[in-house]
Amino acid sequence: MVLGNTPDPAMTAASMELPGTTSPSAPAVPAPAAARQPAFRIVCAALLVRLVLLLLSHGVHFVESRLKDPTSFVNETTNIAASIAAGHGFGTPFVAVIAGEGYTGPSAWIAPVYPYLCAAFFKAAGSYSRGAFVLLLLLQCVFSALTCIPILRIGELTVGPRAGYIAALLWAVFPWFSVWAISWIWEISLSALLMSLLFWWALRLKDSFRNSQALLFGAAWGFALLVNPALLMLLPVSLLWLTTERRRVGTPWLRSSVLALLACALVTAPWIVRNRVVVGSWSFIRGNFGFEFALANYHGSKGL
């Protein structure tokens, strides 16, 4: 026996909601990206740590005289950068052009990207100037702080979000991971960022490795090698892992891997040809392997 009209279930559910609550079917208001993701906060913390350490580094002296400047600031990278800024081109790695020692000729001593980046700052603020060094150190602090993002994501994709968060936090706050960014004009901070980004990218390509993605991946690797050829050790490992994973699930892999290698070769080939034409000898991006090997292994060496 029906005593009255049957109530609408939706109306009943709405009438039972507590004040200030919303229906489960109502779309949630998205939180700001900084609130949803810990990466932004970790990067900010990492940058703050590096800036504080930079200000507290009593051994860092920003002086323009080459005789008083530490080798952390006057080295092969900055000497070549000064040569580029002076209009002489990529060369003179062992003397400072600004000190009046002149141009000694072209070189293939180190990879090209970082000296050209430093040359842009030297051109804008003056070679070996206080302003150029400060700007370069600040940029290196940014590179080092941004490395927290791929560290966090690599952890999430491999060992879990908690481990990734801890690893990124350690990178952010542990002083030793900041030392190269704040004390030496070199490509170390950029190399660490690129290596971790490419590692993260390789993990993400496991599920989708289309031809266009392979070309971009290979081109990014080519750029990374022009920053630091030592990163090459990770490239075959990345491609081998991608190949193994895609073969295991029966998805195409050969064409994408070949395209990635071709793109990498196309990006690096112009500089290799330049070394052959200008310097007169073949060298893979940089030609100081023999010196570095001897420096790290001679009797009494303490390593590099």
Residue 201 has pLDDT above 90, yes or no: yes
More reliable by pLDDT, 147 or 93: 147
- At 59, phi and psi to the nearest 5? -85, 0
Alpha helices in 174-210 (DSSP H): 179-183, 188-204
The span from the CA of 155 to the CA of 162, in Å, is 8
171 and 189 Cβ atoms separated by less than 8 Å: no
Alpha-carbon distances of 26 from 23, 186, 233, 236, 243, rounded to whole Å: 5, 53, 51, 49, 44
Say which amino acid occupies 259. L
Q: Among 160, 282, 266, which Cα is nearest to 221's?
A: 266
Mean pLDDT of 10-35: 42
Mean pLDDT of 108-125: 96
Q: What is the pTM of this model?
A: 0.83
The span from the CA of 139 to the CA of 4, in Å, is 74
The span from the CA of 74 to the CA of 83, in Å, is 12
Task: Please compute Rg for the chain using Cα positions.
Answer: 26
Structure-block tokens of residue 46: 């990492």
Q: DSSP characters for 76-120?
A: HHHHHHHHHHTTS-SB--SS-GGGTT----B--SS-SHHHHHHHH
* pLDDT range class, residue 99, cuts 50, 70, 90: low
Cα angle 137, 140, 143; round to 5:
160
Residue 96 has pLDDT above 50, yes or no: yes
115 and 132 Cβ atoms separated by less than 8 Å: no
Exposure letters 194-217 (e unless 16+ CB within 10 A, then b): bbbbbbbbbbebbeebeeebbbbb
209 and 203 Cβ atoms separated by less than 8 Å: no
Alpha-carbon distances of 254 from 209, 213, 260, 263, rounded to whole Å: 10, 14, 10, 14
Residue with tokens 């040359």: 119
User: Residue 97: its pLDDT value, please?
Assistant: 58
Per DSSP, the three-state class of 232 is helix
The rounded percent of the chain whose pLDDT value lies above 70 is: 80
Alpha-carbon distances of 220 from 84, 143, 236, 273, 297, rounded to whole Å: 24, 16, 14, 19, 32
User: Residue 130: its pLDDT value, please?
Assistant: 87
pLDDT tens-digit profile of 141-188?
999 999 999 999 999 999 999 999 999 999 999 999 999 999 899 999
